[in-house]
Amino acid sequence: METMLAVLVGWLVAAAVYLMLSRSLVRYLFGLVLISNAANLAVFASGRLSTSAPALVQPGQLAPAADVANALPQALILTAIVIGFGLLAFAFVLAFRAREELGTVDTDAMRVAEPPALTPAAAVDREGRSAA
């Protein structure tokens, strides 16, 4: 079981990395969805996979009678899913707004915050103006 899950996580990460290396912001975000699910599955596996009972205590007892599954990784994943969902929702809206304002989802074409270096001619022009 662990092997299968490991292979699945591996495939998910591979697909996610492939998507995230793309210049398109939308593909990047889909890659992010995949890789965060891969991370969740990895956390799930850290609690050991077993077919034991849910971690419930019978009335009147202080400890569960039989072997129980580890509930902590599941709680961690639940938290991670909620956080991940919020972040993803933000990221998608950000991508949408960036498309509206900048007119592109190609991350290489987004050069507003870091404009490309001035060509020598343009630099001379600018120097000339500031000296004048």
Partner 1 sequence: MSWLLAAPILTPMTTAIVCLLVRRHARVERAVSVAGGGLLLAPCLMLLVAVWNGGPLAGQMGSWPAPYGITLVADLFSAVMVAIAGLTGFAVAVYGVADIDRERQRFGFHTLYHILLGGVCGAFLTGDLFNLYVWFEVMLIASFALITLGGERAQLDGAVKYAAINLVSTVLLLTAIGLTYGATGTLNMADLSVRVGAVENQGLVSVLAVLFLIALGIKAAVFPLFFWLPASYHTPPVAVTAILSALMTKVGVYALMRVFTLIFTDDVGFTHTLLLWVAALTMITGVLGAAAQTDVRRILSFHIVSQIGYMVLGLALYTPLAIAGAVFYLVHNILAKTSLFLVGGMMGRLGGCQELSRIGGFYQSAPLLAVIFLIAAFSLAGFPPLSGFWAKFILVKASLDLEHYVIAAVALGVGLMTIYSMTKIWILGFWKPAPGGSDTAPVPAPSPGETTLRLAPAAALTALTVVLGVSPEPFLEVATRAAAELFEPRAYVEAVLGERP
List of residues contacting partner 1 (CB under 8 A): 20, 25, 28, 32, 35-36, 39-40, 42-48, 72-73, 76, 79-80, 83-84, 86-87, 90-91, 94-95, 97-98, 101-102, 107, 110-114, 126-127, 129-130, 132
CA–CA gap between residue 10 and residue 90 (Å, rounded)? 27
CB-nearer residue toward partner 1: 53 or 72: 72
Q: Minimum distance between the CB of residue 76 and partner 1, rounded to whole angstroms?
A: 6
Q: Minimum distance between the CB of residue 94 and partner 1, rounded to whole angstroms?
A: 6
Other C-beta atoms within 10 Å of 131: how many? Answer: 6
Q: Minimum distance between the CB of residue 112 and partner 1, rounded to whole angstroms?
A: 4
CA–CA gap between residue 15 and residue 26 (Å, rounded)? 14
Structure token pair of residue 79? 């938290």
8 Å CB contact between 1 and 49: yes
